[in-house]
Structure 1
Amino acid sequence: MKEYSENYSQLLAAIKKEIDSREIKQVELANFVGIKNSTICSFLSGGRTIPSDKLIDLLYALDIKLVKKEETIEDVVMQVKYKDLIQRKRDFESEGGVIL
């Protein structure tokens, strides 16, 4: 889990760096990718994930490539899906839901 956390942090850092270097407004990027601005802001702060297809669109829009040879885009997507499932479980439980 530690390795995943480090990889995820590195991915977020790369995305933020690319946004800053291009002087792109987050709202413009969100519109281009097709997600709400509040969603992309929360994602960039590490608070939430975004759907894997939107993450791929975001990476392509910013021309971010994964540099680890053993890690593919599919690996990152699986990691994001896992984090999204965990977040949904937390949201469900915080709303009073019980998982049997």
Structure 2
Amino acid sequence: MTFITIITTSILFSLALVHIYWGFGGLWPGNTKQELIDKVFGKGNQFPSPFICFFVALGLFLFSMLPILWMFRFSLIKRIIPTQMNICWMNFLRKYTNE
């Protein structure tokens, strides 16, 4: 499970980095804008705006974090629930001991 998590996260994070590169005007895997469009989209003559590239990169980055969060879900729950219970207990004590 750890191997699949690392591979999935690495691929999605790498794709996010490529979209950031394109957002800043990078031309890889082509040498010209039209060559890049032909290789990435197949047809057409218009490349998406930098905003769209950054938006897609943000989505890919967020989705790249999901496998890691899923892998550590039980350890996060073990940390969050006691914290919430402590907060409730402290509020209870504060309310009934100050009167």
With normalisation by structure 2, the TM-score equals: 0.34
Larger Rg: 2
Structure (1/2) with the larger helix percentage: 2
With normalisation by structure 1, the TM-score equals: 0.34
